[in-house]
Amino acid sequence: MAFQLPPLPYSTNALAARQMCQETLELHHGKHHQAYVTALNGFVEKNPALQGKSLEDIIKLSYNNPDLAPVFNNAGQHWNHILFWQAMSPTEGGKIPGRLEQKLVSDFGSVAAFKEAFKAAGVGQFGSGWAWLVLAPDGKLKVTKTPNGSNPLATGEGKALLGCDVWEHSYYLDFRNRRPDYLQNWLDNIANYEFALAQLG
Ligand SMILES: [Fe+2]
């Protein structure tokens, strides 16, 4: 069974009022994410060792394997974008549930400190990549960043609760080169903290 592009959990204009316009979502989901899925399926078709494997298994087995770098990039990007669509909300974006707020304050000192750390990770990711809020193996919330198609599942840095795409395709139409403003708006108005809390369990 080939990998599939999941439908967006909202319409392509659902985040326009929150500074992620319809064209951004149409291209990002319908073209960029679709291209990762198509490329991944092409690699799986040609490589029997990948056939029948889950997306997570393909990510783990191709991580840090130079021969499988293109497989890793596309499998990682498929996984990352599946999470990214869920990590945004057109109705609850930016609202932090009490239980998550307590955990953020406990592990970062304040919500503002968490946001600063997340923004710094996203801004500090040279070139393309992702900023993450993860539940680290020690039980603490941490912020991390990964280049290109990598993610915390591959690196073992923890369970991803939120992931923000800082590839230019994710913000250039709405923010041009202003990645810090995109990240600030994403954290304040778009991030789905209910989803993050649900991942926390
Ligand atoms: Fe993307």
| 21-86 and 98-200 have identical folds | no
Residue (of 114, 150, 145) closest to 132 by Cα position: 145
CATH fold of 98-200: minor pseudopilin epsh fold (3.55.40)
User: Going edge to edge, which strands form the sheet with 129-135?
Assistant: 141-147, 129-135, 159-165
CA of 10 relative to ligand 1 center, distance in Å: 17
Distance from the alpha carbon of residue 28 to the mean position of ligand 1, in angstroms: 6
List the one residue out of 39, 30, 26, 42 whose CA is nearest residue 5. 30
Residue from 152, 141, 131, 136 nearest 99 by CA: 141
CA of 165 to the centre of ligand 1 (A): 6
Q: Which fold has domain 21-86?
A: Helix Hairpins (1.10.287)
Q: Could you state, in order of their start, the residue ranges of all structural domains in the chain? A: 21-86, 98-200
Q: How many residues does the chain have?
A: 201
* CA of 164 relative to ligand 1 center, distance in Å: 9
CA of 69 to the centre of ligand 1 (A): 18
Q: Residue 170 Cα, ligand 1 centroid: separation in angstroms? A: 5
pLDDT string in tens for the chain (201-residue length): 799 999 999 999 999 999 999 999 999 999 999 999 999 999 999 999 999 999 999 999 999 999 999 999 999 999 999 999 999 999 999 999 999 999 999 999 999 999 999 999 999 999 999 999 999 999 999 999 999 999 999 999 999 999 999 999 999 999 999 999 999 999 999 999 999 999 998
Distance in Å, CA 102 to ligand 1 centroid: 30
Please give the model's pTM, rounded to 2 decimal places: 0.98
Q: Residue 201: what pLDDT?
A: 83
Cα of 39 from ligand 1 centre, angstroms: 15
